[in-house]
Amino acid sequence: EAARLLGLPAHQKPDALSVLEKSMLSDPSPSVRRQAALSALAYEGHEPIVFIQFLLRGEASDEVRRDVIATLATAKPHLRDSEATSALTTALAEDPSPLVRRAVAKSLGARGDRRALAALEIASDKDPDKATRRAAKESPTILVPQAVSAMNFDQAVAINGTMPGPLIPWMPSGSAARP
**What is the rounded distance in angstroms from the CA atom of residue 114 to the CA atom of residue 168?**
32
pLDDT at 164 over 70: no
**What is the rounded distance in angstroms from the CA atom of residue 126 to the CA atom of residue 115?**
19
Report which of residues 35 and 159 the model is more confident about. Answer: 35
Confidence class for position 136, pLDDT limits 50, 70, 90: very high
Residue from 50, 45, 59, 61 nearest 13 by CA: 45
pLDDT in tens, 70-122: 999 999 999 989 999 999 999 999 999 999 999 999 999 878 788 899 999 99
pLDDT at 161 over 60: no
* pTM beyond cutoff 0.85: no
105-124 burial by CB neighbour count: b if 16+ within 10 A, else e? bbbbbbbbbeebeebbeebb
Query: What pLDDT does 143 receive?
Result: 53
pLDDT in tens, 35-81: 999 999 999 999 999 999 999 999 999 999 999 999 999 999 999 89
How confident is the model over 3-31, as a mean pLDDT?
A: 74
